[in-house]
Every structure is written in structure tokens, then in C-alpha cells.
Structure 1
Amino acid sequence: MNTIIKGSYGRDLQVRQYSTLGLSALVKELDAQGVDPARLLTGTDLSLATINDPNTRISHQQKVQIFRNMQQSMVKPDSALLAGQHQRISDFGIYGYAVLSSRTFGEAVDFGVRHVRLLGPVFEKSFHLEGDEGVFTGL
């Protein structure tokens, strides 16, 4: 039997309700590639100082623009994986907590999906089992 757990966000792309957790890893990776990290923030009205400020809140639209800028600025095609090496467990917010406090990956995902409002700017997340495999979807 498949178990499906869902959570949703509001649809206003302009509301600044999301933290900048993890974005400093993108800054570090661009810098490591010799690219001016300020390029990451073009068109967002953010500064490099705001990325490290835990009180900064950004909109879904700003975060998408940051990802677009990363894609256009990166030198290496595996930049997302390389940036992941700069991440801390706390950059994953509630999922980081879930991973540290759960016995299995499935328990961590279940916890995170049930607390989806705390996770970040993805409109809908779901997790279900297909046989022995877990399927996690973010839309």
C-alpha cells in the first residue's frame, strides 16, 4: 500500500517568506571557480551581505532568479554538486533536523513533508512508496 503525504505553499511569488539557508554555498562555489559571486544576485535587489544574514527573507521569484544566475555564471557543469560540498546540515532547515533525528531516510522525509511550511520555496512536495523504493517529488 502506498502512503502519500502532501503539503502546499501559497502561490504569491513576491512574498518574502523564505530564508537564505544554503545560498552561501552557491556564493562559495562561484568564488572557487573564479567568478564574481555578486553575479549570483543580479536582478534580485539582494547583496552578498544579506545572503549570510539569518533574518533575511526572500521571495520564490528571487530564489528562482538566483538559480538562473548560477546556471548562467557557473564555469563547471557540476556546480550544483560542488556547491553541495559547501553546505552544512543546518542549511537544510527542517530536513537537516529530520535527518539528524530520524532512524531512517524514510522517517526523515516523512517528518519533513509533514512540516513542509518550514522547508522553503517549493510549492508542493510529496513522498510515497513504490514497493521498496521511496519517491520524493517537488513541484
Structure 2
Amino acid sequence: MKNWNFQRYASSANVILEFAESIAVSRSKCLAGTGITEAILSASHGEISAEQELHLIRNLLEQTGNPPGLGFQVGQRYKLTAYGIWGFALISSPTFRSAIEIGLRYLDLSYAFTEIKLVEKPHQAEVYLTAENLPADVEHFLIERDAIATATMQREIYSSLIPVEELSLTIPAPGPEIEAQYKNVMGTVPRFNSDCNRAVFDARFLDVPLPRANQQTMQMSLEQCQSILQQRRQLTGVSGKVRTLLLDSPGQFPSMEDSANRLCVTSRTLRRQLATEGKTYRGLVDEVRQDLAEALLQTGHMTIEEIADRLGYAEPANFFHAFKRWKGITPLMYRQTQQTK
């Protein structure tokens, strides 16, 4: 079972509570036992854990009886403004492709509980929502909420609805009334009770310029997104111990087996412990490399080739590709932007 004890902004809780109040469901009953206070909810950067949000959702389901389409109704309320700087980064991106890439890169700053991925084919693009780690009692609600929230964001980013050629959801059919609402929001009625959660659309839409693209706004937003993520990467739990080991030996990162030995566990146990915290060993190596790369590029004392070597890359080209995946720009461009500040 995944560990949901990681932080996120409380804006999502506010969205849920506003919906509850709109259907005359008690705010206090939704908050009961969550540990979420009104002070946290009213703070500009108030944070709660994902576990607290799950508790809030369970309370909502209990108070409403979890009627069909509840996730649909809540998901429609997730406008880009609710996501803060993450939303600004998406809407200021040059193309829909870059918006998706940025969204996935900083997905931890969203409110999604499902894991999202993009698969490109010669003429089609497929977006998948994976729900294998979701608690069973809230799984259907979260799939529906995340699917509709994603569609709502897409409409805002693109200023119109991208036609969906095929839409599949694993949740049960909610009935004709809700299905008609799906068609209005997503352009098609999903195939319910499917074996995966997938939306398919024409791949040409990926590279169409977005109407509110702004390079400066996007770059500023990306830097803030990265700063927030770094602040949240506290050295706690097993993943914190692994990060400490990695930071102690940059350029010669220990293998997972070596780290497991130093932590006095088997590699299998370490893999399982990291999974409960939503982490992988390779992902932690990637995080540490990114943090070190940014710090070394900002100092300006080492060449990019020397930095690539320091971070353990056999070829500078491998570092170039990795850095562009992290930041959307090359290491040289990143260094130049830092020097002009």
C-alpha cells in the first residue's frame, strides 16, 4: 500500500469543501477527524498531506452516499487557478505537448492521485491514468475526479476542447444523465467498465501553439515549481536516508544493492520500502543528479562536460538529454538564464 503522507497545497480541500457546501453537505462533518483546520484552509500557502485529503474525501462520500457521478461533479471544479504556480507553468507553455511534459514532470504539485502518462504513436496520442495504488474505497471517485479535472484543465490550456477519439474508464457506468454530461464536457461518452483509463486523440494537436504562451512566465513558473519540490524533499523516511547516501558520493552513486547493505536491509526490502513512499531508487538518483546539476551550473566554475562527468554520466550527450527532460532547456541555456539574473 502506498504511503500518502506527503504534502500538497490545501486548495484541493477547499475545492471539495466548496462543492460540499453547494449541495448542502456539512462542512464540519467533511472536516471531522482530518486534522485540517480553517487556519490551514485560509492560508495562502497552506499545506495538508495527501492522507488528510483522502480522509476528507471519505467523509464526503459518507455524507453524500457516494452517488454516481460524484467524482464528475467535483472534477469540474478544478480550474487552473486552483493549482497555483503549476497551473501558470502549463498555461504559459508554447505547445500542448510542452504543457503535458511540464505537467507530468511536476505532477507532484498537482492534486492527482492517479499516475498519469503520455504515450505517442505515429498518428495518435494516448493519455493513461493508472489507478493501481489507489485505496479501494475511494478508487472510483478519484479516477472520475482526476479524469474530469484533466479534461477541464485541457480546455483552459487550449481554449477549446481537443476532440477525443476514444475514451475508456474502469469505473461502472453512472447512468444516462451523467453520461450525457460526459459528452458535453469531453465530447464523447466513455466506454465504462474498461480494462484501463485512457483518452486517445489526434497527435497533431500536441504541437499546435497555445494561445497564452509566454516564455518568461513559463520559465519563472518552472523555477518556482522546482523550488517548491526541493523544499518538500525533506530528509525523512527511507527515501531521505537514500538521498543522504547519494549526496555523500556524487559522481559515484552507489548501486541499490550497495545502499541496501549500508542501510542493513536487502535490496528487495529497500525497493518495497521506497515504493510505500511513492519513490524508486532510480528516481531518487535522478532527483539528486538534477539538484546537483542546477547547483553546479549556477556556480559557473565547471564546464558542462566536467559537470556531466561529476554526475556520473559516461557521455555529455546523456547529461544533455537528461537535463532537457528535467528543465525543458539545455544545460547551456539554463546557465545563461541564471547568469542574466
- Structure 2: distance between partners of 1:87 and 1:49: 21
Shift of 1:12: 4.9
Structure (1 or 2) with the greater helix fraction: 2
- Structure 2: distance between partners of 1:67 and 1:138: 19
> Contact conserved, 1:89 with 1:96, CA < 8 A, in 2?
yes
Shift of 1:62: 0.7
1:48-69 deviation digits (Å, cap 9, x = unpaired): 4422322321112111111211
What percentage of aligned pairs have identical amino acids? 22
TM-score calculated relative to the size of structure 2: 0.32
**Structure 2 residue ranges without an equivalent (≥5):** 132-341
TM-score calculated relative to the size of structure 1: 0.69
Letter in 1 for 2:117: S
Residue 23 (structure 2) aligned to one of 10, 33, 56:
33
Distance 1:86 1:68, change over 3 A: same
1:77-126 deviation digits (Å, cap 9, x = unpaired): 33333334444422134552244123544332211112234334648543
Residue 115 (structure 1) aligned to one of 87, 91, 106:
106
- Structure 2: distance between partners of 1:78 and 1:50: 29
Distance 1:115 1:62, change over 3 A: same
- Structure 2: distance between partners of 1:122 and 1:78: 18
Q: Which residue of 2 aligns with 1:126?
A: 117
Distance 1:48 1:89, change over 3 A: same
**Structure 1 residue ranges without an equivalent (≥5):** 1-10
Distance 1:109 1:82, change over 3 A: same
Q: Which runs of 4+ in 1 moved over 6 A?
A: none
Q: Which residue of 2 aligns with 1:83?
A: 74
Shift of 1:38: 1.7
- Structure 2: distance between partners of 1:97 and 1:84: 19
Name the count of aligned residue pairs. 128
What's the RMSD between the two structures over aligned residues? 2.9
Asked if residue 50 in structure 1 is aligned to residue 45 in structure 2, the reply is: no
Distance 1:112 1:138, change over 3 A: farther
- Structure 2: distance between partners of 1:138 and 1:54: 31
Q: Which residue of 1 aligns with 2:58?
A: 68
Q: Which residue of 2 aligns with 1:4?
A: none
